Structure 1
């Protein structure tokens, strides 16, 4: 009986949905005909341009489309108008000239449900965003706070070295170790220590990566609210959200009990302590809700673990492929250390070539090929075309940072290219924007750079590295996998020989 009823209702429901979609999308209320939109590829009913993104990584497909249609082109993804920017000039125009207009974010179902609709990265531009941004800049990632966090980085760098020593000449999974140290460092920075449910928390965070990356049908048809239900996405997001919420509540309760029984200076606070204190004090203009506290904490893990670890992993792979660069970086670190056992903050500040290695890795192997999508609040002109209000925009920084007109030997790993120029991470030169630019530039740049410099300096100082067996370094596989970050497809296994 139940099977028979299902066999009737399922095709009936599907047919009704299909008719609804066709009617809505073949006869839309479309005012874009009066605009001079950027050019773009041909479209199909309902799905629009989605088929043009099939068969390869999105950043590669979009670079190919840019070569055909120009530095800004238009894609129709379901109901969504997406403008894709692939030149530094138009990136500057959008994030500098029209910064306020493009400071808004599109609203995604996954963000609303997992990140409490109250985080910083995806927050709508306004007072709430300004308040959270100020907290991150002045409290969580100020120079003073990062200096305090460097003691954690130094300890974790030392722990990593000791784990590698235990391998005693056997191949070590460098990729796995780099992701582990990135997770442990941010965990200690956020919570003060490792905790009981850490493994479950981190595995759930990893699961959220796939929901926050890529295209979800519910986000491409925002007027059809029921798609999140019938696709099963809402139930998956709700399950992940509940797991994270329970763990975060336990962590917060433990911090409140601990802080009630002892007096601590603000210098000794971890990130949860700071956010709970600000929540208790209340905001001057906008109150800091518990949802905001949780959203910011999740931002730290989603934005500060995989991207950092992936960058270090790409850096080690490129160093293996370029032994002359590896030797030069090792020589710099070892001269600066002069035989001392542990690397400190002062040592890191005297390693300009290592800084160039990281800069070049972020250029050639950026873990974030697109900046977080933006939303046009008003109709504006960009590159001679009209961008209607409500359009979404992404900037293909992967393509920009490999642009042949802007970089000599753009496809070659060459840290020396940064030796005599002033490229910085703060997003003022739009030819080089691995951390974004404008009002939405990443507030955690100092933390990310310090963390990567510390780990890589330890690896280069304490060990000599080579591939197992007779593998040719130049033939090391460098295939990539797209997700929330762009990571290496294969784990990097290396043999570490302790350096005397």
Structure 2
């Protein structure tokens, strides 16, 4: 009798296995590399996933299906495939998978970046686009940008006067953080112990968001995240940010802000009150704190990454640096300072930034999407629940799109209208479609102003008379691709 039961179970298992295989055989799935039991293709994703996925795509094509544990993952590595995902079928691929780390850090994904696609996300994105990052709002913070970039120049000038080496990475990170603190929270925290801790926690947040969580892909091995200490680290980080942001909200509620000098917290608290009914708002404190954390993750780390890589490339290419300095200095004329009014005239500066973004996408794999229904992409079947990784870094180096793609050559952008705002899929450093970054205007004007002021005021060299080829431009690991080592320079005043 027992033997008969085992035989019945075996036959049921065999039938289901065969049925599953038959169903898969009927579908035309994207090409896939061979996978291992349990882990699938996870062993083929190294410490720099954008590079290892690019290597796999050269063998298996621009649309490639991997398995991360039990989860199907579609890897997109061409402009045409990205257009299909982020434009033609944008509504189908606008969801976000529920991942343990961002879900905990952002209050159950109550933010804009990781919130699931739906009414709540539409409301939060509308607040960001129309209230926090509108052109009018970005322009209203012009004085903050100009003050903080001038302060950066003064600090570099003092180091120059004392013949000290300048850690330009630190200077640019401080600039991005101080500007956003003033814009979002109303004041800077960098000069206090709490501010230093805040900066360290932001760095840890970005590192955590780039950390692989076993339980997301192999649920029965989720205990590894607990035993390894990962869950504990995430919990500690989330609680620290919650205490800090709670104190910020309390401080803002105790002050009556009048006039137009409102920061993001003031604006969000006003929106919260406007959406209140019977003493309960549809926009809770957790949503406000989640959005603020989004702003800092996107508005500091990725912003200074772009400036850091741009300066590194200019140091490696002195002819480009000289050409840019000439443009900026001619635009400044006899003026003491370059201002935002001058930026529209600086066409070569804009080309330099486009080329920097092409080679050094701040978040090389963008943020993972998820399909909400079965569909076809470029003739291949893609099932609902498939995660989608768009390798924007690989697209920016595609030899089918770019001549000599590994070369830093801003001139390639002087004779075409390719832009990075989500309309041209060969250059998508900030994503595109519904899930495109809403803060492009904010980041662009700060980046351009900061670099213009630096090359206007100073000439730069590497320390100890090092040659341009000695500059190490290795990448760090993590969701944001930074220089692995700080960018150290010698700055001399331009006279």
Corresponding residue for 2:262? 269
Q: In structure 1, the residue corresponding to 2:94 is in which secondary structure?
A: coil
User: What is the TM-score with the length of structure 2 in the denominator?
Assistant: 0.91
Which of 362, 366, 370 is equivalent to 2:365? 370
Shifted more, 214-223 versus 120-129: the winner is: 214-223
Q: How much does 1:255 deviate?
A: 0.8
Corresponding residue for 1:156? 148
Corresponding residue for 2:299? 304
Q: In structure 1, the residue corresponding to 2:465 is in which secondary structure?
A: coil
Tell me whether 1:478 sits opposite 2:463 in the alignment: no
Which of 179, 184, 188 is equivalent to 2:178? 184
Deviations 1:217-269 (A, max 9, x none): 0211247665554443332211111111111011111111112xxx512x311
Which of 80, 86, 93 is equivalent to 2:77? 86
User: In 2, Cα distance between the equivalents of 1:409 and 1:346?
Assistant: 34
The answer on whether the counterparts of 1:150 and 1:450 sit within 8 Å (CA) in structure 2 is no
Corresponding residue for 1:394? 389
Corresponding residue for 2:48? 57
Which of 23, 29, 35 is equivalent to 1:43? 35
Corresponding residue for 1:239? 236
Q: In structure 2, the residue corresponding to 1:45 is in which secondary structure?
A: coil
Matches within 5 A, 1:98-497: 98-117=89-108, 118-167=110-159, 168=161, 169-195=163-189, 197-222=194-219, 228-259=225-256, 263-265=257-259, 267-282=260-275, 287-497=282-492
User: In 1, Cα distance between the equivalents of 2:455 and 2:321?
Assistant: 8
User: In 2, Cα distance between the equivalents of 1:498 and 1:308?
Assistant: 25
Q: How much does 1:421 deviate?
A: 1.1
Aligned-residue Cα RMSD (Å) equals: 2.0
Q: In structure 1, the residue corresponding to 2:485 is in which secondary structure?
A: coil
Relative to structure 1, is the Cα distance of residues 281 and 477 closer, same or farther in structure 2, using a 3 angstrom cutoff?
Answer: same
The answer on whether the counterparts of 2:111 and 2:291 sit within 8 Å (CA) in structure 1 is yes
Relative to structure 1, is the Cα distance of residues 166 and 442 closer, same or farther in structure 2, using a 3 angstrom cutoff?
Answer: same
Shifted more, 312-321 versus 222-231: the winner is: 222-231
Shifted more, 234-243 versus 433-442: the winner is: 234-243
The answer on whether the counterparts of 1:49 and 1:76 sit within 8 Å (CA) in structure 2 is yes
Q: In structure 1, the residue corresponding to 2:255 is in which secondary structure?
A: helix
Corresponding residue for 1:20? none
Relative to structure 1, is the Cα distance of residues 111 and 351 closer, same or farther in structure 2, using a 3 angstrom cutoff?
Answer: same
Deviations 1:116-155 (A, max 9, x none): 1200001111111111111111111111111111211111
Relative to structure 1, is the Cα distance of residues 29 and 439 closer, same or farther in structure 2, using a 3 angstrom cutoff?
Answer: farther
User: In 2, Cα distance between the equivalents of 1:476 and 1:228?
Assistant: 37
User: In 1, Cα distance between the equivalents of 2:133 and 2:118?
Assistant: 21
Corresponding residue for 2:7? none
- Unaligned runs of 5+ residues in structure 1 are 1-22
Which of 51, 55, 66 is equivalent to 1:75? 66
User: In 2, Cα distance between the equivalents of 1:362 and 1:470?
Assistant: 28
User: In 2, Cα distance between the equivalents of 1:312 and 1:395?
Assistant: 23
User: In 2, Cα distance between the equivalents of 1:346 and 1:372?
Assistant: 33
Q: How much does 1:417 deviate?
A: 0.9
User: In 2, Cα distance between the equivalents of 1:246 and 1:43?
Assistant: 44
The number of equivalent residue pairs is 470
Q: How much does 1:448 deviate?
A: 0.4
The answer on whether the counterparts of 2:50 and 2:364 sit within 8 Å (CA) in structure 1 is yes
Q: In structure 2, the residue corresponding to 1:406 is in which secondary structure?
A: coil
